Amino acid sequence: MAAATATTETKTTGHTILRWIKAAAGWHLLLAVGGVVGLGWLWAGGGTERVIVFKVVASLLLVALTAVNALAAVDLLRLRHRGRVVSLAVNYLGFLFCLFAVMHRAGGFTGFNTLANNFGRALPFLFLALIGVAISNLGENPGANRKMVGRGITAVGGILFLFLAGLATAGRALVISLTDPTTLILFVALFPFGLFLWAIWRQPAAARLGAKNVDNEMLIGWAFLSPNFLGFLLFIAGPLLFSFYVSFTDWDAFGNANWVGLGNYGRALNLTLAPLADAAQRANEVLDVRVYDELARIRLFGRSYVIGAQDKLFWIALGNTLKFVVFAVPLSVIPALFLANLLNSKVPGMKFFRAVYFLPSVAAVVGIALVWQLLFNASVGYINYFITQITTFLGLTDPKIRWLSASDTALLAVVIMAAWQWLGFNTVLFLAGLQSIPRVLYEAATVDGAGSGRQFTHITVPLLAPTTFFVLVTTTIQAMQIFEHIFIVMGTNPAGPANSTLTLVLYLYQKGFQRFEQGYASSLAWILFAIIFAATLFQVQRQRMSGSGYDA
C-alpha cells in the first residue's frame, strides 16, 4: 500500500519535473532568439558605442549567449546533465546581471554616498541586533527560550537598523526607477531567471538529469567561487587586459582612443646619443630639438656626447625611482635585521619593543607624511634642531640642511621617512624568520666551539635566506611604487625642486589623472611592472644561486 503511494508520488513529481525541464528549455530557446535579435539590432545601427572594441566585445557576448542557450535547450530536452550545468550557469549569471543592473539603475550603488547621513542614527540598532546574536549564541548551552529571545532582539534590531539606515528610501527609489522601461524589463527578467535556477537546481531535477556526486561538487565549487571569481574577472583580470590594450592607444579617459601601436612605449623609452664637438657645445646644435631634450652629458674615450630623450621627465622619474630604491631598501632592511637579532636574544620586554617598532606601519601614510613635513622644516623643525645640537656638541659646523626645499636632499628626506615607516614591519618579518630557526642548531654550534659571529654567518644568514628574500622583494616592490609619501610631504609641488622627487608613479599620476593622457599612463604602468618583474626575477635568481651554493 505504502509502496504504491510512493510510486504514484514519484510518477507525479516525475511528470512535474519533466514539465519544468521542458519549460526551462523553452526559456533558453527564447534567450537564444533574443541573442540573435540583439545581434541584428547592434549591427543595424543601434547602440551608441563609439568605440569599436566595445561593439566587437558586445557582439561576441551576444553570439556566445545565443550558442550557449541553444545548447542548454537542446541538452535539457535530451535530459543530458550538461544541459543542467549550462542552464544553471546561464540562469545564475542572468539573475545576478539583472539584480545588479536593477540595483544600479535604481541608484542602489551610488546610494552608498548618503549612507553616512543616516548611519549614525541607525547604529544603535545594529548594536542591539549584535546583542541579540550574542544572547542566542554565547554561553555553554543556550536554552531554547534564550535562543528565541535572542533571535527576536536580533530581528527587531536588524529591521530597525535597515529601516533607519535608508531601506525605505532605497525601496522608494526602486519603485520610482521601475517606471523606466529598461529597468522594468530587467526587474521582470529576475523572476524567470530565479525560478528556473531554483527548478533546475533542486534534487528532483538533478536526479532526472542524471547528476552524479562529482557533478554536484563541481556545481557547488563554482557557486562558492563565483562571487570571488566574477569580481576577479570584472575588477582585476578585465582591467588588466584592458590596460594592456589602452597602453597601445592615446586614450584620454573620455572615451576617445586612436591606435598608436608601440608609440607610447617608444615615446617613453626613446633615447639618442649625439657626439659633441667640445664639452661646452650647445645641445640644440646636435640634437633634433623637435623630438629630443637634453638629458645628460657623458664623456667616453675622450669624446663628449650628449644623451637626448624624447620624454626627459620619464628618464628623470626612472632615475629618481631607482635612486630611491637603492637608498630606501638597505636603510629599511639592514637595521631591521639588526634589530630583529637583538629582539631575538630573549630579552624581557621583547613584545613591547616589537609593538613599538611595528607602530609606524599601522599609520596612514598621509598622516605621517604631514608629521614628517614639520619635522623636516628647515628653520624650526626638530631634525635640524637635533643636528644643530649634535654638531654644536661635537664642535662641528652646522650643515643647515634645507631638506625638502633643496634639490639634493629632498629625495633623501623621503628615503628617511619611508625607511622609518618600513623598518618595523621588516623587523617583525625577520623576527618571525629567526624564531623559526631551531634552537638546537645554535646549541650544537656552541658545543662545537663556534662563536656568535660564526653562528650568525653560518646558521642565521643561510637559514634566514627565505625571509630575507621575501623582505627584499616586498620592500623593493613597495619602494618602486613610492608615491603617497612624496605626494604629501612635498606639499604644493610634489615633483620637488628641479624634479628631484619626481618618481615613476608620481609621473604616471600626473600624466594619467592631471593631464588625462591615460594611454600613455597605462604604458608607463606596464613599463614599471616590467621593471618590478625584472627586479623580482633578479632577486629570485640570486636567491636560487645562493641557496644551491649553501646546499653544496
User: Which among 317, 267, 262, 335 is positioned nearest to 531, based on CA atoms?
Assistant: 317
Shortest distance in whole angstroms from residue 297 CB to other proteins: 32
Partner residues linked to 52 by β-bridges: none
Shortest distance in whole angstroms from residue 374 CB to other proteins: 5
Instruction: For the beta carbon of residue 60, count every other beta carbon within 10 angstroms.
Output: 10
Shortest distance in whole angstroms from residue 51 CB to other proteins: 10
Which span (73-81, 139-147, 404-412, 501-509) binds other proteins, by CB under 8 A?
Answer: 501-509
Contacts (CB under 8 A) with other proteins, residues 390-449? 420, 423-425, 428-429, 432-433, 436
Number of residues that bind other proteins (CB under 8 A): 108
Contacts (CB under 8 A) with other proteins, residues 250-279? 251, 253-255
Shortest distance in whole angstroms from residue 143 CB to other proteins: 20
Sign of CA dihedral 33, 39, 45, 48: positive
Which span (21-29, 182-190, 374-382, 544-552) binds other proteins, by CB under 8 A?
Answer: 374-382
For the chain, the C-alpha Rg in angstroms (whole number) is 33
Shortest distance in whole angstroms from residue 437 CB to other proteins: 11
Contacts (CB under 8 A) with other proteins, residues 502-521? 505, 508-509, 512-513, 518, 521
Shortest distance in whole angstroms from residue 191 CB to other proteins: 24
Shortest distance in whole angstroms from residue 229 CB to other proteins: 7
The residue among 254 and 393 lying less far from other proteins, judged by its C-beta, is 254
Q: Which of 409, 467, 499, 501 binds other proteins (CB under 8 A)?
A: 467
**Residue partners of 493: CB distance under 8 A and separation at least 6:** none
Contacts (CB under 8 A) with other proteins, residues 1-60? none
The residue among 29 and 211 lying less far from other proteins, judged by its C-beta, is 211
Q: Which of 6, 56, 366, 396 binds other proteins (CB under 8 A)?
A: 366
Q: Which of 481, 510, 539, 543 binds other proteins (CB under 8 A)?
A: 481
Q: Cβ distance 525 to 511 under 8 Å?
A: no
Query: What cell does 220 get?
Result: 557547488
* CA 124 to chain CA mean position, Å: 33
How would you list the strands of the sheet with 293-300, edge to edge? 271-276, 303-309, 293-300
Which span (178-186, 258-266, 323-331, 469-477) binds other proteins, by CB under 8 A?
Answer: 469-477
Contacts (CB under 8 A) with other proteins, residues 113-152? 113, 115-116, 119-120
Shortest distance in whole angstroms from residue 67 CB to other proteins: 20
Q: Which of 12, 16, 110, 256 binds other proteins (CB under 8 A)?
A: 110
Shortest distance in whole angstroms from residue 303 CB to other proteins: 39
Partner residues linked to 300 by β-bridges: 303
Relative to beta strand 293-300, strand 303-309 is antiparallel
The residue among 113 and 397 lying less far from other proteins, judged by its C-beta, is 113
Which span (2-10, 300-308, 522-530, 540-548) binds other proteins, by CB under 8 A?
Answer: 522-530
CA distance linking residue 311 with residue 299, whole number of Å: 22
Q: Cβ distance 470 to 436 under 8 Å?
A: no
Residue 545: how many CA atoms within 13 Å on its side-chain side? 6
Q: Which of 159, 374, 390, 534 binds other proteins (CB under 8 A)?
A: 374
Shortest distance in whole angstroms from residue 449 CB to other proteins: 17
Q: Cβ distance 254 to 519 under 8 Å?
A: no
Q: Rounded to whole angstroms, what are the CA distances from 504 to 332, 345, 482, 528, 531?
A: 21, 41, 8, 7, 11
Shortest distance in whole angstroms from residue 64 CB to other proteins: 17
Confirm or reject binding of residue 538 to other proteins (CB under 8 A): no
Site string for other proteins, 216-255 (x = CB under 8 A): -xx-xxx-xx-xxx-xx-xxxxxxx-xx--x----x-xxx
Burial 185-214 (b: 16+ CB within 10 A, else e): ebbebbebbbbbbebbbeebbbebbebeee
The residue among 25 and 528 lying less far from other proteins, judged by its C-beta, is 528
The residue among 499 and 522 lying less far from other proteins, judged by its C-beta, is 522
The residue among 292 and 507 lying less far from other proteins, judged by its C-beta, is 507
3-state SS class at 300: strand
**Residue partners of 144: CB distance under 8 A and separation at least 6:** none
Q: Cβ distance 422 to 327 under 8 Å?
A: no
CA distance linking residue 502 with residue 510, whole number of Å: 10
Shortest distance in whole angstroms from residue 529 CB to other proteins: 5
CA distance linking residue 218 with residue 213, whole number of Å: 9
Contacts (CB under 8 A) with other proteins, residues 334-363? 335, 339, 342-343, 345, 347, 351, 353-363
Contacts (CB under 8 A) with other proteins, residues 88-107? 104
Relative to beta strand 271-276, strand 303-309 is antiparallel
Site string for other proteins, 157-176 (x = CB under 8 A): --------------------
Shortest distance in whole angstroms from residue 459 CB to other proteins: 17
Place of cell 656552541: 446
Q: Which spans in 282-398 are helix H? A: 312-343, 350-362, 365-375, 382-394
Contacts (CB under 8 A) with other proteins, residues 182-221? 214, 217-218, 220-221
CA distance linking residue 460 with residue 464, whole number of Å: 6
